[in-house]
Structure 1
Amino acid sequence: MEPTLGQFSRESLDALQESARNLSEIASRYVEMSNSALRGTPADLRLIQELNDELEAGVVDLNIRIHAHSGTLALALDVIPADEEHFDDFVELEDVDVEVQGRVSVFSRWDVVVSDTEALLVAGRAAHRRDNSEDCEEDAALAVPDAFSALWRILGDDGRLWYSIPGIEPIRGVKFGVVPDDEDLWDQEVNMTEGMLPPPGRVLRTECW
């Protein structure tokens, strides 16, 4: 296998080392939190979930950095349900009680810029309240604090859509959001295969079905 441009470079190694340090720092904070006097309060649970998300994103980021440096993926990450609500929908192929007439994997990637943060926040918080009718505006603001959270919330149903399409049985799905390192990403031409790979950058959040 011939290395692609940028592999085994000083830059890719530096990025890999920085990702490893970041993951180590997150893991240390997780251990410190676990040793503290948690009582299971809403604030405690919110902190735990935030660190869970950070830890997951850090692991995914390290995998991406390893791939960017060496062209290999070190971690065969298990795909797990995003939440208990859809646990029963997550099945292995051998558990699907249907006649398998074909197999398809569908990929898409959208690179976007935020042009109106306030409008995006309003839309994201409205989407949150549609699914959480008991929440007030203040609750929605806490749940959707920034532009990425708003976009993620608006797109929250796209994975579930696959379960409503007649004639198919979803086996698994994965998505994640990344802030790319390269600000000129959108000016670069990529081939179809590279275009489906996540660009090197800071992983904000992942979700699996």
Structure 2
Amino acid sequence: MEMQSDLYRRYMNGHANAVNAAFANRFFIGLAAVEAVARALGREVEHRLVYDAPHNTVWESGDIVRHRKGACPARGSGAMASSPYEWHGEPVILPGSMGDGTWLLAGCGSTDFLESAAHGAGRKLSRQEARSKTNISAGLRVIGPVDPQSPTLRGRQDIVAEIQARLKEEAPAAYKPIDSVVRPMAEAGMVTKVAKITPMITVKG
């Protein structure tokens, strides 16, 4: 597909619309989480968007087009001039599973890796493999709008089975340990470590 073609421009316009819709979706999930915390505490909660890092996008840079699938930009400090990150490198947020931590990293701008970095721990088990495991989601305390024990769902075992299967797909054991992913990235000069944070609650949406 030629970059100067009408097809390319229409594709990129559609891509931009999809990226904007995805951002809005993440934003409203965040607002829903803030609202839930505010209700639980019985007071308003201060909040602000600090950073947003999509990971399935196409990035244009002159005549170079990078398709980052499951990856995000990781430019070094030199490329971040006149931004809050000009002395540190581009922020890279690398989330783990529901039961693991999330690493905050700074990009090193390595051309060996196309100024990119992983944007997740990555699956250890495919979704189908995770679904086939018996006790993989044991120990998860799930709070949600759908109660599998409700009288309405007792006669709909198909729905209950699908809910349980989805939980298995996202179980911590289905993903690689986050530290085992970050370590080689840092050693290879892709990123530098900044901080590891541990979630108290995870919102899946």
**TM-score under structure 1 length normalisation:** 0.35
- In terms of fraction of residues, the more helix-rich structure is 1
- In terms of fraction of residues, the more strand-rich structure is 2
- Whose RCO is larger (CA < 8 A, sep 6+)? 1
**TM-score under structure 2 length normalisation:** 0.35
